Structure formats: structure tokens, C-alpha cells
Structure 1
Amino acid sequence: MGKRVLLLSFFLFSFVSLQAQTVADTTWRRSLSTGLNLNQAAFSDNWKAGGVSSIALNTFFNGRANYKWERVSWDNTLQLQYGQLKNKGEGMRKSLDRLYLDTKYGVGFSNDWNVFASANFLSQFTKGYEYDIDDAGNDKLISNFLSPGYLTFALGAEYKPTPNFSLRLSPFAPRFTFLVDENVGENERYGVPPGDKVRTEILSGLVQVDYQKDFAANLNLKLNYISNLNYKRISFDKVDHRVNAVLTAKITRYINVNLMGNVVYDRDQDHSVQYSQSLGLGVMYSLEGISTGQ
């Protein structure tokens, strides 16, 4: 079931892409940023202040491709984040892992509003563990690619007064939660019923906010917020919330300081708020461009 949904989504997006390329007098706005951050600390064995020698490596890729023709728009976002951490005396451990894809096709009915259809996908690349769960130092597998994975389709209205801000309101937003790794399922189910690999929530709504801002020539913020509501369990404490933020400060053309943060509240995962944060100094390459076609 899960593979069929993903395959159908791929063909749908490919069809829309081909249709968009055949339209005359089009405008594309594209941007990308990719980089590598390195954190390192070293202590001698007799360092009295305490500390553990460590090295961490994080990489990221953020891409946007937004299309506009008269009242028609097609916006696409891809965000990839991955990191590894090595503390002295321990093996390599994952410190950052995010795979996010969003695509939206809209038709405007006023200067700031449009009706839209969209799809977004969220998962991680590799296995994730809860480390040292017992005195023997054993680890517990709690995630993997498509375990969990979330695919959400949405229909609704979007408020987009500027290219840097959008608010989507979707009263109909079916969501599919995937759990394809049975080894993960033995420890965490993420709301997927035992014996199943996919949980389907048809009667669901979605609120999504995308925002990016250049506060200065060398300081940029990208913010994404997604809220999912299952109508069968309407209660504020059962609404899922996800926030992803990336703050980038350029020191030189290629050297930057990068702060990334994620906040998740999802009772199918945990009854408490989850968060992750990373700060790194590294190299970054960014590119922006606008192209038109006749």
C-alpha cells in the first residue's frame, strides 16, 4: 500500500511538472544552499576541568523552485539534513537526520489568496537508536527510513501576501503514516496498528506556515510549521505540531555559522515535547536565480 501511494505521488508530480514546462511566458524563482559544518573538541586524559573529546559533522541541503504564470503557481521545497557525532570511547552516533519534501499547485482568486492542492513527505535517512538503555550498554532501534514516514495530501486555501510568507489552511488533508521496518515496530509504533505498515487518517486537517527572511545581507532565517488534526480525536493536546528552523549567518562568501532546530509534539510518538538543536561553523554554497520563458 505504501509503495503504491509513493509511486502514484511521483507520477502525479511528474505530470504537473511537464504541464508547467509547456506553458508560455513563465517565471521560475530558484534558490539552493548546501553546506558542511564541523564541530571538534579535544581534552587530554588528565584535563581536570572535565570534558570528552568529540567530533561532529553535519551536512545540509535546502532547495526551492517556485513557478508563476498569471494566476497559476507551483511551489516546491526540498530540505535534507544529516549529521554524525563521535565521542571518545563511543561509536558513531546520529546527531541530525531529516528528509522533507513539499510541493503545492495553486490558482489565485485574489491578489493574496489562492486555492491549492499539495503533498508533503517527511522521514529520515538511516537507523536511529535510543542508546545505552540498560547497564550492559545495549541500544534500542527506534527509527529508520519510512519508519516512521509521513505523507500528507491537502486541499484548501492559501494566504500568500509576499514570496517569503505563506499560510495554508486545509480542512481536508489525508495523512499516511508508514512503518515499514518491523524491527522498529517492535519498539515504537508511531500510531500504526500492530500488524500493519500504514496508518491512514482520511478525516484530517492541516495548517502550514512557511517563512523566510533576510534580516541583513548576511543573516537569513527559514521557518516551517506544520499542524495536523485528526477529526476523530479533536482535542488541543492531540493536535500534532512540528517546527523546523534554520538560522544562517554568513561570515565570508563561503564560511558560515548555522543554527538548526526542530520541535515536535506528537502524542503518537511521545506525550512530551521533543526537540533537537545543532550549531556549527562550516562552509556553505548558495545560489539564487530568476528565469523567464516565452
Structure 2
Amino acid sequence: MFHFNSLLKYLFLTFFLIISIAANCQQKKVEKKKAPVPKWKIHGRFTFLFNQSAFSNWAAGGQNTVAGNVSINYDFNYKKNKWNWDSRLITGYGLSYLSGKGYRKTNDRFDFNSLLGLKSSKYWFFSYFTNIKTQYTRGFDYSKTPEVSVSDFLSPAYLSFGPGMLWKKSDNLNINIAPATARLTFVNDMFSGKFGVDEGKNSALSLGFNLASYYKTNVMTNVELENILTVYSDYLDKPQNIDLEYQANLRFKVNKSIKMHITLHTIFDDNASGRFQYRELFGLGVNYSFHEKVTY
């Protein structure tokens, strides 16, 4: 069982220490002239990462592998008077081919988040957020023989929404606190009885506390670090078991089109597995901005 006063507390302290230092550094910068605030900022990015290894008569041994990962990130930021509307789509799919074992999934994600805010003070907003999260294809546990199906398209699928308060320093630094968040979990008949859904049913409703934060900064020239953290506690079912999702993306820019990308992704969801889930992705690939627009 995962408790809030252990790893989560340490993660929070580290995360908010970084934010505090970054915010303090930004405040010390002297602004020569206040730039006009754009009404719309849109940025769509396509990334393709490729990895390959091949062996022939290699004394140390080895297994031929080919892996590819495609991801699309789409950001929409809108500002007008006291209104602020931020939407972000994070989606990706990856496969690897292992000689003698066939294809294995390495990434499968659809995550859409929309956050509407009405300014109440300099950095604070009354907010309302909506989040949709699922995957595209069936997932398997290959540690068992034969492999066992553990998830599928829209199984599970999560729909979360609720009012709250948003602290927003910039488009690259914000924290949303939603103490009355409703979450709907959907599964098909095959997975009824799993992911917190009762046996014989295809959906479950929960009410809880949701915290979501986003922080992106340039660590150094041509090196960008992006942090995405989500925490959820269900008031109605074991509130001490905190659901945690944290993703760190480190991007090294080689030139305009080529970047080296490292992703560290961890999830703790007591209803899904009761253990920490880890995913790490590293590769050199093509990065292309297919839609980039700023309007005033």
C-alpha cells in the first residue's frame, strides 16, 4: 500500500523546490518593456524516434531489435481579458520488433487535458478542468505463457472533470487544485471487475481531490526539461491510496529538426496494479512543428 507521507511527500518537496527556485529567478529578471499578450498560441509537434540493433556471429551474444515511436503534442493557449483557456493533447504509439518474439508495444497513450480559468488576482484563477485518458490497442503481460490481455482500447478509459483554483505564473508554470473532482472509469465486458469497476458493470464513478501541475524550463542552451504531475485521491474508496502520475521529458536540440529525447514516466494506481509502473524511452529522432501560430 502506498502512503502519502513516504515517496509522494518526497516527490512533492523536490518538485515544488524546483518551481520555487525557477519562479524566484524569473522574478529577479528586469523587464525592459512589457510585451503584448498573444490572444492565441498554438503549437503542434510531431516526433519520430527510431532505435535499431543487429548482431551476426557476435561472441557476447545479442538479439536483433527494431523499435519506432511516434508522438504528437498539441498545445492551445487562449487569453482574453480575464479569461484563460489551456488545452493540451499528448498522444503516442510505439512498437518494437524482437527477433524470434515478434512485435511488442512500447508506447500507447491518448491524454487530452483542457483547463478554463477566470482571473481572480494576479496569478490566481477560478478554474474548471476536463481530462480524457485512454489507449489505442490491446495490451499484454508477456511475463506469462501464453501472454495475458491486461488492457484494451477504452479499457480502461478515464474521464475526469471538476471546479477548482488555478495558480498560473506563465504558460510554462502552473498548478491546478480541484478538491471536488468527479472521475468516471470505463471498461468493456472483458475487463469488468477490474480498474475499480465492479463485476458485471462497465463504469464506475468516484469523487475526490485532484492536483495537476506543469513546469517547463530550459536547463541550458538547447536543453529543455518538461515536468507533468497529477495526483488523485478518491474520497469514497481508500482515500489514503493516492493515485500518482509523473512524467519528465528531457529534450536535447541538435538542430531545428533533430532532437534527442528522454522520457521518464511513472504511475501508481492501486486499482490498476497496486505497484509502481515505470516506463523509460530514449532515442534520437525527427522533431517537426507542423502547426505553430501566434495571434494578437
Q: Place the TM-score, normalised by the shorter chain, in its bin.
A: 0.7 to 0.9
Is residue 265 of structure 1 aligned with residue 268 of structure 2? Answer: yes
> Which consecutive residues of structure 1, in runs of 5 or more, have no partner in the other structure?
1-24
- Two-structure CA RMSD over aligned residues (Å): 1.6
1:20 alignment partner in structure 2: none
Return the alpha-carbon distance in structure 2 between the equivalents of residues 100 and 32 of structure 1.
15
1-side partners of 2:157 and 2:250: how far apart? 25
Correspondence for 2:246 among 243, 246, 262: 243
User: How far 1:289 moved relative to its partner?
Assistant: 3.4
Matching residue's letter, 1:231: Y
Q: Distance in 2 between matches of 1:132 and 1:170?
A: 38
The one of 28, 36, 49 aligned to 2:40: 28
Alignment of 1:112-123 (within 5 A): 112-123=123-134
Q: Are residues 1:62 and 2:42 paired? A: no
In structure 2, the partner of 1:278 is 281
Q: Distance in 1 between matches of 2:140 and 2:238?
A: 32
User: Offset at 1:29?
Assistant: 1.3
Q: Which residue of 2 aligns with 1:230?
A: 234
**Would the aligned equivalents of 2:38 and 2:294 in 1 still touch at CA under 8 Å?**
no
The alpha-carbon deviation at position 274 of structure 1 amounts to: 0.8
Change (3 A) 1:161 1:26: closer
Task: Name the CA distance, whole Å, in 2 between partners of 1:235 and 1:270.
Answer: 16
What is the TM-score of this pair, normalised by structure 1? 0.84
CA deviation after TM superposition for structure 1 residue 184, in Å: 3.9
Quote the Cα distance in structure 2 between the aligned partners of 1:218 and 1:43: 34
1:183 aligned residue? 190
The correspondence of residues 200-239 of structure 1 with structure 2, limited to 5 A, is 200-201=205-206, 203-233=207-237, 235-236=239-240, 238-239=241-242
Spell out structure 1 runs of 4+ moving beyond 4 A: none
Q: Does 1:193 align with 2:198?
A: yes
Which segments of 5 or more consecutive residues in structure 2 lack a partner in the other structure?
Answer: 1-36
CA distance in structure 1 between the aligned counterparts of 2:47 and 2:92, rounded to whole angstroms: 10
Q: 1:156 maps to which residue?
A: 164
- Structure 1 residues 26, 212: CA separation in 2 closer, same or farther (over 3 Å shift)? closer
Q: CA deviation at 1:164?
A: 0.9
Q: Deviations over 1:158-194 (max 9, x none)?
A: 11122211111111100001112x2344xx7111111
